[in-house]
Structure formats: C-alpha cells, structure tokens
Structure 1
Amino acid sequence: MGATSDEEWRRAMRLAFLESLYAEPGPYVSVYLNTSRDGDHPERAIALRWRRLRESLARQGADAALLNRLEAVVGADAEVPGAHGQAVFAAHGALVLDGELPSPPEHDSARYGTLPDAMPLVTQHVPEIPYLAAVVHYGGLPTAGAHGSVTLEAEAGTWPVSTVAPGERLRRRVAVATWHRASALLGHRLDAWARRVHADAFVVGGNEWACNVLIRRLPRTVRDRVVRVGGPTPTDTGRALLEPQLDRVFRGHLAAHDRELVDLFVRRRAVGGPVAEGLASTVAALQRGQVAALLLNRPPGSSPRLWVGSLPTQIARTEAELLSFGVRAPREEPADEALVRALVGTGAELVVVPEGDLRLSEQVGALLRYGDGGRPRA
C-alpha cells in the first residue's frame, strides 16, 4: 500500500496493547467507569459508582477476591485531572489491563463474561491521529532591542488518547532579541520530531508575532502541516498541550493513514478487488486470517451475536458453521467482543469511518491481505 516497513510495523501494533487481554482464557471482568475529577466531591461519586458496579459483578458470578483486586485500582487515577474515564480488565484473580479513557464512558458498565468487552476501549483510542503541538508565549516587545523572553513548549501525542496521557514535553526559553535566530534552530528540531512520530499535523498556538516568526523558519516538510489555532493556551493543566484546540482540529477527522485505507477500499471495491463487505463476508475473511483492516461505520454492539471457539479465527455467524469446522463446544458472544478478539489475534487494524465518508453494507467491511484466489503476503 505504499507504506514503509517502519510505518507498516507501527500500524500493525495499533491493537497490540490488547494482546494481554487474550493471553489467558476467560472469564473476564470488564469495567468502564467515569473517574472524572471535575465535579464536586469526585472521590465520593466514584466510590458510589464503583459500589453499584461491584454489586452487579457479584450478581453475575465474579468472586469476592477478584472484586477486591479490582477495588484496589478502580479510581486510583487521581493524578489525571478533568473529565475522563477508566477501563479495567481482570481475569483469574489478576489485573490484566488498566487503561485511561480520554472521555468518560457513555454509561458506567461492568460485565463478567467469557470474552473481554474491549470495543468501547478500542473506539476511544481511534482515530489515533499522531501530531505535534506547540505553544509560544513572549514577554516584551517584538523588536531587536527589546527586553523580555520567548517561551516555547512543544509536545507530541496521539489524539485523543494523549489528552489524558500527555507525552514528553520540550521547553525552551530565549531572549526576545534572539528569537529569530533561535526559532530557526528550534524549527529543525521540531521538524525532526514531527517526522519521527509521523505527525499528521503540527498544531501551533500562542502569541501571533512569536508564532509567525517560528512558522516562517520551519523546514517546509513540517511547515506544510502547520495548523494555527487561537484561544487560551495554558501550559500547566496536567492535560495535553492545546487540548481544547486539538479537539476542534481533529474531531470528526480520520488519521492520514486511515484515510489512505478508506481510499484504497473504495478503489478496490470499484474494480472488484480484494475487499469484503457485509457481516457474513467479513466474518468469512476473518476465519481465513485474510483481513488487513476492518472498517466499521459504527461498532455493531451486542446484537447481532457471533459464534466463537477457542481461537481468534474460530468465528462464525452460526453454531452449525463452527461445528462443521470441527470446533468443539462453540459459544455465542456479543459481536463486538468476538470481532476485537479476531482483530488482535490476526494482527489486523481497525478503522471507524463515518457513513458520510464511506457507507458500508451492514456498517462493516474489510480490506483483505489477498484475494480468494491468492496467497497471504509474507
């Protein structure tokens, strides 16, 4: 698809953070909880929410030891300010995954089941847009002989997850009189940084004069990706640099890589190339490990349901189909849970694409690694 080997590897690892979820057989506890600290008495509110979820899990059959293990980590993200959530997974008495959600879940939930309920966590990670952000402040007058200083703070991230997990931050302060020369040197460093993280955009906010000086001195490779933003630019919030502006810039957009996948799907579909569309065709391709990227208009939820076996590729629309493959004791699971396990187990990607950009039959389709008459690529 024209990507470099480094880029292909990086993208193949997008769902790798979920591999630990499937290292052991279930049953699993999956908890989604609003752990925001932006209201009154947040710790009390979180404790009440967790108490309701704990009672629900006990009714579903989760044992007290496992619930006590969860209680030790639920709400333990007090260092994360503002609105956010927490996703916690456990199995066999051990914590398997504890992840921060950039937004609170639509509703708190707790499930005890054979497969982890991972789709809400995955969809909070997309569209995974890599970016570089910078804020430039100055004090003094923008003249050669002025007193004062210019301060630049820059941070790389992947939106939206980096809103609650900001990365390493660069901070430089120079005299106003030397800003023209210093910005040229900083520009080369920022350009290298943007290329290293494969940034789709370089979002810049702050003082207009100081920003203009910096942007004019950026190498063209990063200057062409600059997005200027206005509004307040605090730098000590404990959240991502330029968080409100990032939301306005990126919400509703696909990452550049995902856009390439969608465009490739459209081109292939037009000529009868290696794609699948509709749930039945997509599930059949997952059975063969044929899916390079799953495309969804929206997650299918718990209805319809799919039948699964012990392996990620043992997935089907009906119990009879799995039995015909020799799968012992297949079980019916929510479609969301079965699809995520198949994607992680086969190293496939996930793209959530708005229907306005691409309307898919039954809201699901797939780019295939090879056609029905071909062979898997090495």
Structure 2
Amino acid sequence: MRLSFLEPLYTASGPFASVYLDTSRDIAQPDRSVALRWGRLRADLTRQGADRALLGALEEAVGADAELPGTHGQAIFAASGSLVMDGELPRPPARDSARYSTLPDAMPLVTQHLPEIPYLAVVVHYGGLPTAETHGWVRVEAESGTWPASTVTPGERLHHEVAVASWHHSAVRLGHRLDAWARRTHADAVVVGGDAWAGNVLVRRLPHALSGKVVRVGGPTPTDTGRALLEPQLESVFRGRMAAHDRDLVNIFIGRRALGGPATEGMGATLAALQRGQVAALLLNHLPAASLRLWTGPQPSQLALTEEELITFGVRAPHEEPAAEALVRALVGTAAELVVVPADDLDLDEGVGALLRYADANADRPARRDFADTP
C-alpha cells in the first residue's frame, strides 16, 4: 500500500490534533448527533491543551460531509491553527477519538484504506421485451475505485446507452474502452452486475486480459445512491483479499529471503533499515499494538527502541511516541510502502520485515521485541 496520500499531513509542524468522528447519516437527527459527538471531543482536546484557533479549524470541518448518505466517518487533522487534512472514512471509527500530540495519529486512517484494491465496477441494465433482443435499450454504468476508500469517495464514472439491436457491436468497442481504463488504473478486478443476458454479451466481448479479471455478482444494482457503484457486492468480493500489488511484494520478499537477497526481519533490524532510508516496503503480520512505543527525533527516519540509541546518533531530546505514529511518519517520509500480510501467508520474525532498496551486509540485528501485545 502506497502512503503518498498522507504526504500533506507531514508538511505541517506539530503539535497535531487528530480527530476520528462518526458522521453517519442513517440515523434520526444526524446533525444533532454529530454536534454532540464533536462537543465531547472538543472538550477532550481542550483538556489535552489544544488552543481555540486549533479547535476552530477543526470545527469548520466537522460534519462537512453531510451530503454523503449512509454510514461513514471523518478523519480530521489540524496544526498551528489551520486544517491540515480532512479524510472520509468508509466505516465509522470503532469509537470517536481526539488526540493532541507531537505526531499525527494517522494509523487509523491508514487502516481504513486497507487493503486498497483498485477495481472497476460495471452495471449493465437491459430494458426491452422479455422474449426479444431487437427492441429496447442497454444502459451501462461503470466506475473506477480503490476498495474500501472509494465506497465514500467514488472515482471516475462512465455512462453508456445504446439500442439493444446494436448492443453486440457496441459491446466490443466498450470492452476495449474498459480495458484501457483498467490498465490505466491498474485494476485488480472487474466486478460486473445487472442483467444476466446483457452482461454476458459484454463479458464475452472483453479483451482476454480483462475478461480473466471479471467477477460476476448478483443482487440489487442501484446506480444513483451517492455511494460506490455495487458497494454491497464489493464487500463480499474483496473481503479477506490482498491487493495484487501487495501480493507481488510479499512474493518478492519470500524469494529474497530464500536466496539471501535484500530483505530483513525482526523489529530491531527493520528499524535500523528505516533509519538508513533503506526500506522499500514494510511488511507487518499485524498493526502495532497501542501499548508499543518508540523513541523519535525531529526527522522521519529518526526512530529507535531506546532513547540512548537516538542520543548516540546525535538526536537531542528524543520523544517517546506510539509506535504506530512513528512508523507511519517514517514510511511517508522515506517513501516506503506498507503491506499487512496474515501470518498464515507469511510468518515474519517478530511479526515484522522489510523489502530493502539495497543490501547492507554490515547491518547488525538488535535484540528481539514484538509488535504484538505481551500475553
């Protein structure tokens, strides 16, 4: 998973206010609910030391997604009295939270973007006589997206309608158009719903490379909900699945580990590689536990297990921060990717490893310490 969407967050200077808020619209009096939730978080931030300018910047953004229907949430970040980032959450946060801290609390936002699978959703509607294929129309709606974030921030939308009599020929041209679109967006899958007959005509005329990515789905296929096209079906298609790009990185790691190539495992060795800007992709079996903390300096690559280690590197007055916050900043600051892979697929030493940009035969491996909570 690429984290470039977080880059604007780290151009600001802290301390940061990080707010995660349920702004769902599927309840009675949603505006009142959001206002009450924000009131509690505002009071919490005040107790933590946030000033009025910072609270005012946050308040202007709270509930700005009122036109978005259904369940969702907001992730809002502010620093130095200004809004830094306002991101939509495809799911409400497990609980509303507000943190005022040196580093932004970005990991919950990252988590809501996982597994970040690019796709095309296609709905084919047919209107005509039940026993005739020469009268009526075929209407196609298609949309690009990256699941699950695109459930609340859908991508480009295509509208196509033709007379049913010309559908067989039009489907060929449309198939090539979809193929080019899928290549441009690096789509892992093409999820097709709607009418069975008209959908079969399109699928049979898709270029071979694209037809192999087709997943047919049933169920209702509304196209004007204000949410992602085929949203309910996408959940079932992508549940438990990794993005093809991330799967490729895992396979590269497995190959390099077997051959002694540029890869590393274990927390100490991986942190050392992050310090050198050596990590191309960080691999985790699980996200860092809330109790795990790291020592950090002012630069993204300045993070370590102990205060003494950073002082040895010349960092003055290191700060102890939650590991998740330190790691996200390090990954964004060094343009490294993040891959969360189940241990059943790849059991990493201490639950952490990294693909490296280059080999370093002299790198030492410090003592073991796991990302997981101690039982």
For the aligned pair, the TM-score class normalised by the smaller chain equals over 0.9
Equivalent in 251, 268, 275 of residue 239 of structure 2: 251
Deviation (angstroms), 1:280: 1.2
User: Deviation string for 1:28-56 (max 9, x for gaps)?
Assistant: 00000111111222111111111111110
| SS of corresponding position for 1:234 | coil
Partner Cα distance (2:24, 2:87) in 1? 14
Query: Quick one: which amino acid aligns to residue 32 of structure 1?
Result: Y
| SS of corresponding position for 2:202 | helix
TM-score by length of 1: 0.93
Aligned counterpart, 1:322: 310
The Cα RMSD (Å) is 1.5
Equivalent in 146, 162, 166 of residue 134 of structure 2: 146
Provide the aligned length of Structure 1 versus Structure 2. 363
Partner Cα distance (2:231, 2:205) in 1? 25
Query: Quick one: which amino acid aligns to residue 186 of structure 2?
Result: H
Deviation (angstroms), 1:374: 9.1
Partner Cα distance (1:68, 1:126) in 2? 31
Deviation (angstroms), 1:335: 0.2
| SS of corresponding position for 1:337 | helix
Work out whether 1:45 is the aligned partner of 2:14. no
Work out whether 1:262 is the aligned partner of 2:260. no
Residues 145/300 of structure 1: CA separation in 2 closer, same or farther (3 Å cut): closer
Aligned counterpart, 1:7: none
User: Deviation string for 1:251-280 (max 9, x for gaps)?
Assistant: 211110100111111222223322222211
Unaligned runs of 5+ residues in structure 2 are 364-375
Aligned counterpart, 1:156: 144
Partner Cα distance (2:348, 2:73) in 1? 30
8 Å CA contact retained: 1:138, 1:151:
yes
Work out whether 1:357 is the aligned partner of 2:359. no
Unaligned runs of 5+ residues in structure 1 are 1-10
User: Deviation string for 1:276-307 (max 9, x for gaps)?
Assistant: 22211111110010100011122113321100
Aligned counterpart, 1:213: 201
User: Deviation string for 1:68-108 (max 9, x for gaps)?
Assistant: 22111111101111111100000000000000011111111
Query: Quick one: which amino acid aligns to residue 222 of structure 2?
Result: P
Partner Cα distance (2:170, 2:255) in 1? 46
Query: Quick one: which amino acid aligns to residue 25 of structure 1?
Result: S
8 Å CA contact retained: 1:142, 1:209:
no
Aligned counterpart, 2:173: 185
Equivalent in 49, 53, 64 of residue 61 of structure 1: 49
Partner Cα distance (1:142, 1:192) in 2? 33
| SS of corresponding position for 2:61 | coil
| SS of corresponding position for 1:373 | coil
Map residues 166-205 of structure 1 onto 2, 5 A cutoff: 166-205=154-193
Residues 145/313 of structure 1: CA separation in 2 closer, same or farther (3 Å cut): closer
| SS of corresponding position for 1:72 | helix
User: Deviation string for 1:323-374 (max 9, x for gaps)?
Assistant: 0111111110000000000000100001111222222233221111111139
Work out whether 1:225 is the aligned partner of 2:207. no
8 Å CA contact retained: 1:286, 1:313:
yes
Query: Quick one: which amino acid aligns to residue 347 of structure 1?
Result: A
8 Å CA contact retained: 1:200, 1:225:
yes
| SS of corresponding position for 2:286 | coil
Aligned counterpart, 1:6: none
Aligned counterpart, 1:5: none
Partner Cα distance (1:346, 1:117) in 2? 18
User: Deviation string for 1:117-138 (max 9, x for gaps)?
Assistant: 0011111112111111100011
Aligned counterpart, 1:119: 107
Aligned counterpart, 1:74: 62
More displaced stretch, 357-366 vs 63-72: 357-366
8 Å CA contact retained: 2:117, 2:148:
yes
Aligned counterpart, 1:3: none
8 Å CA contact retained: 1:142, 1:176:
no
8 Å CA contact retained: 1:111, 1:117:
yes
